[in-house]
Amino acid sequence: MASGEEAESRIHTAAETAAAQLNALAARLCELNRPGDAEILEAQALMAVDPAIIDEAARRAREGVDPGVAIVDAAEVSAVLLAGIEDDLLAARAADLRDVAARIVRVLNGTHLHLPAAPSIVIADDFPPSLLAEMPRGVLLGLALAGGSPTAHVAILARSLGIPAVVAARGLLDAVRGAATVAVDGESGEVVADPEIAELQVLADRQAVRGERDRAASARRGRPAATSDGKRISLLANIRSPDEAPRALEAGAEGVGLYRTEFLFLRRQSAPSEEEQMGAYRRAMEAFGPDRPVVIRLADIGGDKSIPYLGRPEEPNPFLGVRAIRLGHESRDLLLTQLRAIWRAAGLAGVTPHVMAAMVATIADACLLLDLRDEARAQVCAAGQPCPERMVTGVMIEVPSAAIMAPELARMVDFFSIGTNDLTQYVLAADRGNPSLVRFQDALHPAVLRTVAAVIAAANAAGIPVAVCGELAGDPAGAMVLAGLGVGELSAEAGSLDGVRAALAGVSAAQLDALAAESLAATDAETVRAAANELLGARR
Ligand code: PEP
Ligand code: MG
């Protein structure tokens, strides 16, 4: 074989080996009950054999460029393009792509990374999620990164695997250079270089208290969530795929309060077919059965989750653009297909479907949702397919105008689900992904809580239930404030449910009422958080 062809063939073989390694790591995460995280590595496996990169690398290699250099250069062209787009998700993909290129080069050169064999804390500028997944369990005691962000894949994976992690610690590398020992507290965000004995003792004591707290919390899983004097709060799980159902059930979820279906639409070349969608929704419904609702959110496309195959023009402010239900005005078929898939899935699973739409801002948006729902049902019935009588239909309250119109909206739908992530972003006019705006991003700000209280009042007046499915619901301090305000249903990541259940069990309904009153009267988020933490601390 001529040397150009030989180099080309080595590139293809190395790319396939790297993809196989990444798929094996993904399978390992699935075995650990982490299918959502496995998707990160599955996506990287696809990048490893992406023809746009591999064919370009092969072309360069045929021209005489070293195969390793050709791979890195070809990947870099795409990575630079991705990193340049103002989109957190795509920027994270640039880091993932560079990681994939480095892996292919290692395969080409027959080299291996020397991962620590002894229990260690990793300190780095950044750390690819695939390496984190590769570290043997028990070896990685903690992670401290100068770069990254709380929403970077490596941070999500570390959280999910229970590895203490501190990210975006500017100046970290200088601060720890030359240190013999480093301690990391992922909960408080502290990294201590060469800690004194007394400091180590404080950290060890905290670790012991948290270990005890976590054990006690997981022991409550079989019991319904309630305050110490028996006021019930329903705890449900947020999921991105039916693969997450077993973990949610194991965590004691009473159903799914938010199934983020847009993940089915991401990282692919065309929209999922009605059949494929129906299969996914049916699996989720069957996993939870007829008595535990699965609230399917219609694809929340737009914002930071743009989908190239829809062919939509770029928007200067995507979070204020054509997102979620707004797509129904322009891409009616997209939502109709999804709704038909939900009706059919529920018909086959023998359950009553629950659906909600994100980004509802006006009465017309809610009307559109109801129209699409009914039109989809008529189509399913006309095709002679089994179809339930009704669909429990709700709207997310995450746009200030919807909160203001809540009394009218409450008379049109079956339930509200408050999305505190976006509600905070829109009430405080602070991009939820902008690290320079952290001081505006705490959903415990009284402006957000007063909005939530008004929405609850409107829901109560109309006699419909109100849930919260934003991150605040999974934060023990936030969950206490929300329960005090009168939220009857909290939906959060499965891993947060133990902590919320334990927090609620440690306080009485009267204490929650008092906390809510104090929170509504406060003038900043810090005061609210301090009051909630004091109550949390008092029960510990
Ligand atoms: C929210 O905005 O609070 C929410 C739950 O939706 P997402 O985070 O998916 O936008
Ligand atoms: Mg939202």
* Domain identity same for 289 and 393: yes
Residue 302: CATH number of its domain: 3.20.20.60
Band (540; pLDDT cuts 50, 70, 90):
low
The pLDDT of residue 486 is above 80: yes
Last residue of a domain, one of 172, 204, 236: 204
Give me the domain span that covers residue 17.
4-109
53 within a domain of the structure (yes/no):
yes
Band (455; pLDDT cuts 50, 70, 90):
very high
- C-alpha 233 – ligand 2 centre gap (Å): 22
How many CA atoms within 13 Å lie on the side-chain side of 225? 27
What is the Cα Rg of the chain in Å? 24
Band (341; pLDDT cuts 50, 70, 90):
very high
* Domain identity same for 251 and 155: no
The pLDDT of residue 151 is above 70: no
pLDDT for the residue numbered 513: 98
Give the closest ligand to the alpha carbon of residue 448: 1
Whether ligand 1 lies within 6 angstroms of the CB of 419 is answered as: yes
pLDDT for the residue numbered 458: 98
216 within a domain of the structure (yes/no):
no
Please write the tens of the pLDDT for every residue from 363-395: 999 999 999 999 999 999 999 999 999 999 999
Last residue of a domain, one of 48, 81, 109: 109
DSSP 104: H
DSSP string, 209-261: HHHHHHHHHHHTTTSPPB-TT--B-EEEEEESSGGGHHHHHHTT-SSEEEEEG
- Reported in sequence order, the residue ranges of 56-174 that DSSP labels E, i.e. its strands, are 120-124, 140-145, 165-166
Atom of ligand 1 nearest to the CA of 471: 3
445 within a domain of the structure (yes/no):
yes
Please write the tens of the pLDDT for every residue from 499-535: 999 999 999 999 999 999 999 999 999 999 999 999 9
Task: Let me know: does 451 contact 403? Beta carbons within 8 Å.
Answer: yes
* Domain identity same for 78 and 59: yes
Mean pLDDT, range 133-147, rounded to an integer: 85
Atom of ligand 1 nearest to the CA of 258: 5
DSSP 312: P
* Domain identity same for 380 and 439: yes
Higher pLDDT: 235 or 119? It is 235
* Domain identity same for 423 and 529: yes
Split into its structural domains, the chain has a count of 3
* Domain identity same for 134 and 238: no
Task: Let me know: does 473 contact 479? Beta carbons within 8 Å.
Answer: yes
Instruction: Tell me which range, 64-78, 197-211, 389-403, is most confidently predicted by mean pLDDT.
Output: 389-403
Q: How many residues does the chain have?
A: 540
Look-up of token digits 């306080």: 507
* Domain identity same for 417 and 520: yes
* Domain identity same for 235 and 181: no
Whether ligand 1 lies within 6 angstroms of the CB of 379 is answered as: no
- C-alpha 144 – ligand 2 centre gap (Å): 29
220 within a domain of the structure (yes/no):
no
Q: Whose CA is nearest to atom 1 of ligand 1?
A: 419
* Domain identity same for 82 and 39: yes
The pLDDT of residue 433 is above 80: no
Give pTM, 2 decimals: 0.76
Ligand 1 pocket test, candidate residues 261, 298, 398, most atoms within 8 A of CB: 398
215 within a domain of the structure (yes/no):
no
How many CA atoms within 13 Å lie on the side-chain side of 37? 27
Residue 185: CATH number of its domain: 3.50.30.10
* Domain identity same for 90 and 136: no
Backbone angles phi and psi of 120, in degrees to 5: -145, 160
Band (87; pLDDT cuts 50, 70, 90):
low
Which among 448, 430, 435, 468 has a CA at the least distance from the CA of 525?
A: 448
Please write the tens of the pLDDT for every residue from 273-301: 999 999 999 999 999 999 999 999 999 99
Atom of ligand 1 nearest to the CA of 425: 2
- C-alpha 426 – ligand 2 centre gap (Å): 10
Residue 100: CATH number of its domain: 1.10.274.10
* Domain identity same for 144 and 103: no
Mean pLDDT, range 304-311, rounded to an integer: 84
Task: Let me know: does 136 contact 113? Beta carbons within 8 Å.
Answer: no
SS3 of residue 296 by DSSP:
strand
The pLDDT of residue 88 is above 70: no
DSSP 162: T
Q: Structure tokens of 341?
A: 């898939």
Q: Known catalytic residue: 112?
A: no
Higher pLDDT: 532 or 169? It is 532
- Contact partners, residue 342, CB within 8 Å, separation at least 6: 277, 278, 281, 296, 353, 355, 376, 391
For the chain, give the mean pLDDT.
90
Q: Whose CA is nearest to atom 8 of ligand 1?
A: 421
217 within a domain of the structure (yes/no):
no
Classify the phi-psi angles of 359: left when phi > 0, otherwise alpha if psi is within -120 to 50, otherwise beta.
left
211 within a domain of the structure (yes/no):
no
Task: Let me know: does 297 contact 259? Beta carbons within 8 Å.
Answer: yes
- C-alpha 235 – ligand 2 centre gap (Å): 19
* Domain identity same for 79 and 126: no
pLDDT for the residue numbered 23: 87
Task: Let me know: does 262 contact 305? Beta carbons within 8 Å.
Answer: yes
20 within a domain of the structure (yes/no):
yes
The pLDDT of residue 358 is above 90: yes
- C-alpha 101 – ligand 1 centre gap (Å): 32
pLDDT for the residue numbered 456: 98
Lowest-confidence segment of 132-141, 191-200, 383-392, 511-520 by average pLDDT: 132-141
Please write the tens of the pLDDT for every residue from 22-58: 988 888 777 766 666 777 888 889 999 998 899 899 9
CA-CA distance, 246 to 226, in Å (whole number)?
A: 23
Task: Let me know: does 441 contact 447? Beta carbons within 8 Å.
Answer: no
